[in-house]
């Protein structure tokens, strides 16, 4: 194909579907997909969030501008790329993190009412919302929404802790000193308030359980994994118990950060082969398991690498776990992770999800 006609980009989705888009000279893969009405996973469109991360199977491209948090040098070296930034220099084949089904639905804008605001301790809030047009929101367990902070122009991302088939939506919010959402929740929020949300977004979501699963959660990083467990539990109750064991290691800093441990106990009853450990880092804690999640993994949990790992938590924890795996020479069959970045680059607020 001649340069002036643009390059053909094959988008290969996880469910085996392949769609083709044409990128004009200088055009990003995300823009070409948008024109073709294919919603590949996107959030910031700015090379900041990493949500669009894909894998290039063949072809060459200019990777564009992005920050290390979105794509590390190692990842870029290995062939990972950011469709919101990359400009093709030849025809390309990209593996997209998502299903073609999901790419059809796209990001929507929603309005919700706060039904319940619950403080587990002074630093973690549980929000339960009733969404208008609930039937129009289809999400995958593990995905997130961008929530506009009432009374401000800011938005913050929160992963569903409720399952995709539950009527109400639930979220867990860890507070940050003087944070915008934190201040709203602590000082102004009340039950009955209206929230505006956009989504669903994200390529961190539960795949079919085809081998043992290891879930690693740090702090409110437990939220998307609760959504995944709910989905697995509902499938189990309709007769499809997972064929492989699922283990979770849930680590927090302080005793008071441990939330929804009762819910994990109930999942252990509903899901055959589901086990979990809770771990507290605070040296002064009397919790039976202390330190970091990586110190409490048995060889069986890693299964010589034949394991699908789901990792979610604050960026420092996510990076530490990835380094630990590299250091131990463990390469899981699949490694999915989400970093709960706080104090995100300012640009992100200027390019809300779904903006064309
Ligand atoms: C994909 C994704 C999913 C997420 N899901 C969840 C979730 O399910 N649960 C959850 O608890 N969190 C989640 N987060 C994090 C969440 O979006 C918020 O970042 C977090 O709740 C803090 O928001 P805030 O408005 O209270 O604080 P912010 O206003 O964002 O401030 C965060 C911290 O940064 C400091 N700060 C802000 N601006 C500056 C600056 N210019 N210089 C120095 N310091 C600064 C603040 O003082 C504060 O301590 C997720 C993040 C991402 C990216
Ligand atoms: S890095 Fe591409 S959408 Fe955020």
Q: What is the 3-state secondary structure (H, E, C) of the chain?
A: CCHHHCEEEEEECCCCCEEEEEECCCCCHHHHHHHCCCCCCCCCCCCCCCCCCEEEEECCEECCCCCCCCCCHHHHHHCEECCCCCEECCCEEEEECCCHHHHHHCCEEEEEEEEEEEEEECCEEEEEEEECCHHHCCCCCCCEEEEECCCCCCEEEEEECCCCCCCCEEEEEECCCCCHHHHHHHHHCCCCCEEEEEEEECCCCCCCCCCCEEEEEEHHHHHHHHHHHHHHHHHHHCCCCCCCCEEEEEEECCHHHCCCHHHHHHHHHHCCCEEEEEEECCCCCCCCCECCHHHHCCHHHHHHHCCEEEEEECHHHHHHHHHHHHHHCCCCCEEEEEECCCCCCCHHHHCCCCCC
CA 349 to centroid of ligand 1, rounded, Å: 12
Pair 55, 82: CB distance under 8 Å: no
Q: In this predicted structure, what is the pLDDT of residue 202?
A: 86
CA 49 to centroid of ligand 2, rounded, Å: 5
Selected from 1.10.760.10, 3.40.50.80, 1.10.3720.10, 3.30.420.10, the CATH number assigned to the domain covering 213-339 reads: 3.40.50.80
CA 55 to centroid of ligand 2, rounded, Å: 14
Choose which residue among 139, 188, 228, 342 to substitute to test ligand 1 binding: the one with the highest number of ligand atoms within 8 A of its C-beta: 342
d(CA 316, CA 331) in angstroms, rounded, equals 20
- Tens of pLDDT, residue by residue over 271-299, are 999 999 999 999 999 999 999 999 999 99
- Tens of pLDDT, residue by residue over 148-181, are 999 999 999 999 999 999 999 999 999 999 999 9
CATH number of 108-203: 2.40.30.10
122, pLDDT greater than 70: yes
- Tens of pLDDT, residue by residue over 1-13, are 445 679 999 999 9
Q: In this predicted structure, what is the pLDDT of residue 157?
A: 96
How many CA atoms are closer than 13 Å to the CA of 30, on its beta-carbon side?
Answer: 23
- Ligand number nearest CA of 171 is 1
Residue 123: which pLDDT band, with cuts at 50, 70 and 90? very high
- Ligand number nearest CA of 152 is 1
Q: In this predicted structure, what is the pLDDT of residue 344?
A: 55
- Ligand number nearest CA of 174 is 1
Q: Is the CB of 348 under 6 A from ligand 1?
A: no
326, pLDDT greater than 80: yes
Bond preceding residue 200 cis, omega within 30 of 0 = yes
Q: Where are the domains of the chain?
A: 3-102, 108-203, 213-339
356, pLDDT greater than 50: no
Q: In this predicted structure, what is the pLDDT of residue 2?
A: 46
Q: Which residue CA neighbors atom 34 of ligand 1 most closely?
A: 343
Tell me, which fold does domain 3-102 have in CATH?
Answer: Ubiquitin-like (UB roll) (3.10.20)
229, pLDDT greater than 90: yes
């Amino acid at each position: 194909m001649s340069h002036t006609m643009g390059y053909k980009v094959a988008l290969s989705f996880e469910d085996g579907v392949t769609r083709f888009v044409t990128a004009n000279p200088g055009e990003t893969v995300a823009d070409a997909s948008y024109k073709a009405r294919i919603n590949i996973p996107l959030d910031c469109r700015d090379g900041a969030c990493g949500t669009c991360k894909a894998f290039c199977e063949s072809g060459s491209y200019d990777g564009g501008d992005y920050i290390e948090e979105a794509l590390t040098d190692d990842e870029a070296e290995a062939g990972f790329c950011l469709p919101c930034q990359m400009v093709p220099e030849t025809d390309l084949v990209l593996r997209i993190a998502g299903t073609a089904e999901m790419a059809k639905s796209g990001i929507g804008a929603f309005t919700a009412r706060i039904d319940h605001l619950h403080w587990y301790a002074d630093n973690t809030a549980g929000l339960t919302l009733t969404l208008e047009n609930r039937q129009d929101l289809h999400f995958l367990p593990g995905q997130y929404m961008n929530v506009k902070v009432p009374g401000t122009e800011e938005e913050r991302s929160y992963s569903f802790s409720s399952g995709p088939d539950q009527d109400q939506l639930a979220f867990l919010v860890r507070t940050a000193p003087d944070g915008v959402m934190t201040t709203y929740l602590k000082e102004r929020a009340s039950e009955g308030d209206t929230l505006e949300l956009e989504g669903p977004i994200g390529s961190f979501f539960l795949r079919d359980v085809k081998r043992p699963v290891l879930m690693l959660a740090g702090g409110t990083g437990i939220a998307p994994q609760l959504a995944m467990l709910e989905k697995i539990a509902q499938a189990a109750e309709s007769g499809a118990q997972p064929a492989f064991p699922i283990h979770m290691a849930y680590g927090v800093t302080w005793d008071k950060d441990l939330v929804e441990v009762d819910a994990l106990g109930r999942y252990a009853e509903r899901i055959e082969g589901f086990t979990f450990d809770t771990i507290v880092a605070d040296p002064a804690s009397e919790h039976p398991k202390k330190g970091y999640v990586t110190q409490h993994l048995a060889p069986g949990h890693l299964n010589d690498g034949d394991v699908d790992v789901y990792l979610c938590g604050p960026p420092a924890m996510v990076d530490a776990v990835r380094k630990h795996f590299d250091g131990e020479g463990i390469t899981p069959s699949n490694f999915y992770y989400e970093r709960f970045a706080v104090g995100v680059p300012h640009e992100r607020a200027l390019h809300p999800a779904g903006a064309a």
